[in-house]
Amino acid sequence: MADYKWTVLSNTTLGGLLASIDGTILLISLPVVFKGLGVDPFSVGTFPLLIWLLLGYGVVTATLLVTVGRLSDMWGRARMYNFGFAVFSTGSILLFLEPWPGAEGAWALVGFRLIQAVGASFLFANSAALLTDAFPPNERGKAMGVNQISFIGGSMIGLIVGGLLASVPDLPIGPFVLPTWRLIFLVSVPVGVFGTVWAYLRLKEISIRRPDQRIDFAGNATFGAGLTLVLVGITYGLLPYHGASTGWGSPWVVGALAGGIALLVAFVFIERWVPDPMFRLGLFRVRAFAAGTSASFLGSLARGGLMLLLVIWFQGIWLPLHGYSFAETPFWAGVLMMPMIGGFLCAGPVSGWLSDRYGPRLLATIGMSAGAVTFLALAAVPVDFAYWQVAIVLFANGAAMGMFAAPNAAAVMNSVPAENRGVASGMLATLQNAGQQMSLAIFFTVVIVALASGLGASVPTALHGAGVPPADATILGNAIASNPTGALFGTFLGENPMAGILAVVSTEPGWVPLSSAANATLLAPHFFASAIAPGFGSAISEAFLVAAGLTGVAAVISALRGGRYIHGVDDPESVRARQAAGAAPGPGAGAPGPGSSR
C-alpha cells in the first residue's frame, strides 16, 4: 500500500496536469490556430467560434463533474478514471489529425475539444477521491498539495506552453510539414496515451463501490441541462447583440439563463426526495465541507478571469507598447506569466505539508487574504508598468493561491464519508470549474462595459495625434469604439487589428484616402495598443477590484470553517465511541468543538 499511494499520486498528477494544460493552452496560441486554418479572427461571424474554442472545454467539464463523481462511487473510481484518460487521449488524437481547413475545420476542433473535455471531467472528478482513498489522513494535505499544483498550476503552465509552441515555426518532416497549430495539439497525444496505459496497468480499486445504488436520472438530467443552459447563456452574453457591446439583452441569453436557473432550482427539490441523489446536499451540513467548497468557488471566480485578462494586458497592450511585434507577443506573454506559476509551485507543496501538521484553517485563510491584497496591488498598477513590479505581485498572487489550494482541498475531502468521496470530489471540482467559467463572464462584462465608455475618449485623441483627417477620424473612431468586444479580442489575436479595421472602413461613404505618413502611424504595432490603453487600464482596474472583493469574502468564509475535522475521527459519534471504549483521541483534534460541528 505504501508504494501504491505514490503510484496514485504520480498518475493523478500527470492526468490533472495534462487536462489543465489543455484547458488554457489555446488562450495564447489561438492566433496560430486561426492562421493555420485560414480563419479571419476579426470577422463578426468568428466570434462564436472564438468563444467556444476558449470556453467550451470548461463548460463541458463543469457540467459533467458531479455526474461523473457519482457514477465513480457506484462503479469504481479507478475504472472511471482509466476510462476518462482513454477518452481524453482520443480527443487529443482527433484534434491533432483534424483534416478540414477554414471555419469548418475550426468547428471540428470545437467538437473534438468537447470530446477531450468529457475525458478531462473523469480525471478532474476522481483525482482527489483516489488520493483520499490511498493516503492516510495525516498525509492527505501533502498529497493534495502536489495534486492541486497539477490542476491549478497546469492552467498556468498551459499559458506558457501555448506561448512557447506558438513561436515554433512549421516543422519539415521528410516530404511533409508539421504546421505549428497541429504541434499545439500534438503535445498531449503521447503523454495522454502513456498515462492511459499506465493507469490501466497500475491503478486498482480500493474504494467501497455501491453498485446497489440507483442512477438519479431526474437529477442528472435537470442538473446537466440547467448548468449547461446557464454556462452557454453566460458564454453568449459576451457577444455583441444588435449594436450593444454585450449580449445580456438578447432574448436567447435571457431565456437560457432563466431556463437554466429554473432547472437548477428543480434539481435541488429533486435531490431532497430521490432515494439515491447524485448531489449529496447533506454534505453541506458539515461545516468543513460547506466552507471549503464555498471558499474554493469564490477563489475560482476571482482567479478564472485573471489569467485571460493578464494575457490580453501583456499580449495586446504592454508588449506592443514596448516595441514587440504581434508575431512575438504570444511567446513573450507566456514568459511574462512565469512568476505566477513560480509562486504557486513554491507555496503549494509547503502549505500541504504544513496543513497535515497544523490544520488547514490558518493557512487557507492567510492564502486568500494575501490573494485579496495582490489583486488590490494589480488594480493600482498603471497600464504601462515597470515589469519587475508586476512580476513581484504575480509571484505573490501565485504563492497566495498555492497556500490556499492544498489545505482547502484536503479539508474538504477529509470531511466526507469514504463512500461519498467520488461525488464530493466531483462537487468540489464542479464548483471550481463553474466558478472559473462564470469568472470569465464577470470580468469580460466588467471590462467591456468600462472599455465601451473609455474608448470614446481615448480613441479620438489617438487618431488626432496620428494626423488622421476629422472625417476619417470619426469613421475610424466609431468603428473601434462601437465594438469594444472586437477591440478586446483583437488585442490578443496575434495580428495588427488596425489592418483589418482600415480594410473595412476604407469602403465607407465619405472616407478620404489617408496620407502615407498617417497610414504608417496607424499600422505601427504600438498604435492600437496606445489608443485603447487608457480605457483598458481603467477597465482592468475595476475587474481586479471585483477579484479582491471575492477573495476577501473567501478569506472570511475560510476563517469560519472551524478546527480540523476528519470524518470518522472527529464527528461526535466516533468521539463518543472512543470515549466509551476508553481509547485515546483520534488524530484530528480530539473531541470536536463548535468549529467542527456538523
Q: In this structure, what C-alpha cell is assigned to residue 122?
A: 473523469
pLDDT tens for 542-566 read: 889 989 999 999 999 999 887 766 7
Q: How far apart are CA 484 and CA 454, in angstroms?
A: 10
Q: Look at the block and give the residue holding cell 481524453.
A: 88
Cα atoms in the 13 Å half-sphere on the side-chain side of 178? 15
Residue type, 340: M
Q: How far apart are CA 466 and CA 549, in angstroms?
A: 40
Q: Look at the block and give the residue holding cell 488590490.
A: 376
Q: Are residues 230 and 360 in the same domain?
A: no
Q: Are residues 111 and 187 in the same domain?
A: yes
Backbone φ, ψ for residue 398 (5° rounding): -60, -40
CB atoms within 10 A of CB 584: 8
Q: Are residues 401 and 444 in the same domain?
A: yes
Residue 378: per-residue pLDDT: 93
Asked whether the beta carbons of 263 and 470 are under 8 A apart, the reply is: no
Q: Are residues 551 and 526 in the same domain?
A: no
**Residue 587 counted as domain residue:** no
- Domain stops at, among 277, 294, 328: 277
What b-and-e string marks burial along 198-226, b requiring 16 or more CB atoms within 10 Å of the CB? Answer: bbeeebeeebebeeeeeebebbbebbbbb
Q: In this structure, what C-alpha cell is assigned to residue 242?
A: 444588435
What b-and-e string marks burial along 547-581, b requiring 16 or more CB atoms within 10 Å of the CB? Answer: bbebbbbbbebbbebbbbbbbebbbeebbeebeee
SS3 call for 593: coil
Residue 592: per-residue pLDDT: 39
State if pTM tops 0.85.
no
CB atoms within 10 A of CB 196: 21
**Residue 572 counted as domain residue:** no
Please give the angle made by the CA atoms of 204, 205 and 209, to the nearest 5 degrees.
170
Residue 583: per-residue pLDDT: 52
Which pairs from 579-584 meet CB under 8 Å and 24+ separation? none
Q: Are residues 58 and 205 in the same domain?
A: yes
- Sign (positive or negative) of CA dihedral 141, 154, 551, 279: negative
pLDDT tens for 456-509 read: 778 888 888 888 888 888 888 887 776 666 666 666 666 677 877 888 788 888
Cα atoms in the 13 Å half-sphere on the side-chain side of 249? 7
Q: Are residues 165 and 262 in the same domain?
A: no
Q: In this structure, what C-alpha cell is assigned to residue 334?
A: 507566456
Please give the angle made by the CA atoms of 533, 537 and 541, to the nearest 5 degrees.
165
Q: How far apart are CA 291 and CA 293, in angstroms?
A: 6
Q: How far apart are CA 259 and CA 264, in angstroms?
A: 9
Backbone φ, ψ for residue 211 (5° rounding): -70, -15
Burial class (CB in 10 A: 0-12, 13-18, 19+), 128: buried
Among the listed residues 328, 310, 313, the one whose alpha carbon sits nearest the alpha carbon of residue 495? 328
**Residue 357 counted as domain residue:** yes
Among the listed residues 120, 181, 131, the one whose alpha carbon sits nearest the alpha carbon of residue 154? 120
Domain count, the chain: 3
With a pLDDT cut of 70, the percent of the chain lying above it is 88
Q: Which residue has the higher pLDDT, 294 or 124?
A: 294
pLDDT tens for 72-123 read: 878 888 889 999 999 999 999 999 998 888 888 999 999 999 999 999 989 8
Q: Are residues 439 and 517 in the same domain?
A: no
Q: Are residues 477 and 520 in the same domain?
A: yes
Q: Are residues 430 and 465 in the same domain?
A: no
Q: Are residues 381 and 467 in the same domain?
A: no
- Domain stops at, among 500, 534, 568: 534
What is the arithmetic mean of pLDDT over 562-583?
59
Q: Are residues 189 and 252 in the same domain?
A: no
**Residue 309 counted as domain residue:** yes
Q: Which residue has the higher pLDDT, 43 or 315?
A: 315
**Residue 570 counted as domain residue:** no
Residue 172: per-residue pLDDT: 83
**Residue 595 counted as domain residue:** no
Among the listed residues 476, 573, 579, the one whose alpha carbon sits nearest the alpha carbon of residue 528? 476
Residue 261: per-residue pLDDT: 93
Q: How far apart are CA 448 and CA 536, in angstroms?
A: 9
pLDDT tens for 442-455 read: 787 777 777 777 77
What b-and-e string marks burial along 496-531, b requiring 16 or more CB atoms within 10 Å of the CB? Answer: bbbebbbeebeeeeeeeebeeebeebbeebbbbbbb
Residue 588 in this model has a pLDDT that exceeds 50: no
Asked whether the beta carbons of 299 and 269 are under 8 A apart, the reply is: no
Q: Which domain holds residue 469?
A: 451-534
358 CB-near residues (< 8 Å, 6+ apart): none
Q: How far apart are CA 425 and CA 283, in angstroms?
A: 12
Among the listed residues 74, 438, 415, the one whose alpha carbon sits nearest the alpha carbon of residue 261? 438
Q: Are residues 119 and 36 in the same domain?
A: yes
Q: How far apart are CA 238 and CA 259, in angstroms?
A: 18
**Residue 415 counted as domain residue:** yes
Q: Which CATH number goes with the domain that contains 363?
A: 1.20.1250.20
Q: How far apart are CA 229 and CA 260, in angstroms?
A: 5
Q: In this structure, what C-alpha cell is assigned to residue 273?
A: 426526495
Asked whether the beta carbons of 433 and 124 are under 8 A apart, the reply is: yes
- Sign (positive or negative) of CA dihedral 114, 296, 74, 263: negative
- Domain stops at, among 534, 550, 580: 534
Q: Which DSSP string corresponds to 362-407?
A: HHHHHHHHHHHHHHHHHHHS-SS--HHHHHHHHHHHHHHHHHHHHH
Q: Which DSSP category does 595 fall into? A: G
Residue 587: which pLDDT band, with cuts at 50, 70 and 90? very low
**Residue 554 counted as domain residue:** yes
pLDDT tens for 205-250 read: 876 666 666 777 888 788 888 888 887 787 777 777 776 767 788 8
